[in-house]
Amino acid sequence: MIRPFKGTFRLTQGFGENPASYAKFGMKGHNGLDYGTPTNTQIIAPHSGKVIEASFDANGYGNYLKIENAVEGSVLAHLASFQVKVGDTVSEGQPIGLSDNTGNSTGPHLHWGYYLFPRNRQNGYVGFIDQLNLISMPAETPPPLEGLAIEVGYNPTFEGQDVTVNGVHYKAIKVDGKLVWKTEPQEDWKKKYEDEVAVHKATKLALEASLTKIANAKTALN
């Protein structure tokens, strides 16, 4: 299961919050997750299933969709419009509507209610549960290595070449026979620099000791 939108939007009201506001509805608190999506944000299906409701609730959800499969269900509310209809089968991530501020809402946002089967409607939240910990976090796609040449300003010329630009350290590696830049964590190149400085100091001290020894030997001969 994924969040019902792409990108990042602030969680404006979590599950179970503001119990006083929801007591009049016979609930212990907010029965879903609210995200601050601007009007006309693309909403996608958080999981696969069939659209069993696509309706308007003037005093509550406004324009809302309900999607269910054999395991779970979701309500996506306060929408501007639908891109699916009752009876449609949707897959996870499929566009289903645009967000808005319809129904009982104080500003543009998306209300997402979630439940599992069997649904316990006596749980104080009309059967909805807190889905926050059930959401899969998609892995971030790293920028293509070839694109780092733009950040550095030029392509590498040999493997192992390194350079620091704007506080970021880059090292040339070979991928599929092609030289590309790869960023290195700050602690890695910082340690490498410190090690090189230590080696340089040790070499310098050893050289100075050798020169002193030679000078002393010359003095003894004289």
| For the chain, domain boundaries | 11-134, 142-184, 196-222
How far is it, in rounded angstroms, from Cα 201 to Cα 156? 29
Choose the most confident range, by mean pLDDT, from 26-40, 157-171, 202-216.
Answer: 26-40
Give me the architecture of the 11-134 domain, per CATH: Distorted Sandwich (2.70)
The whole-chain average pLDDT of the chain stands at 84
Q: Which pLDDT band, with edges at 50, 70 and 90, does 140 fall under?
A: very low
The mean pLDDT of 135-148, rounded to a whole number, is 55
Residue 137 pLDDT greater than 70, yes or no: no
> With the CA atoms of 185, 190, 192 and 196 taken in that order, what torsion angle do they form, in degrees rounded to the nearest 10?
160
Q: What pLDDT does 196 receive?
A: 64
Q: Which pLDDT band, with edges at 50, 70 and 90, does 190 fall under?
A: low
Separation of CA 143 from chain center: 14
Per-residue pLDDT of 48-90, as tens digits, reads 999 999 999 999 999 999 999 999 999 999 999 999 999 999 9
- Phi and psi (nearest 5°) for 158? -155, 155
The mean pLDDT of 201-209, rounded to a whole number, is 77
Residue 139 pLDDT greater than 50, yes or no: no
Write down the pTM of the prediction.
Answer: 0.63
Q: Residue 206 corresponds to which tokens in the numbers above?
A: 């050893």
Q: What pLDDT does 12 receive?
A: 94
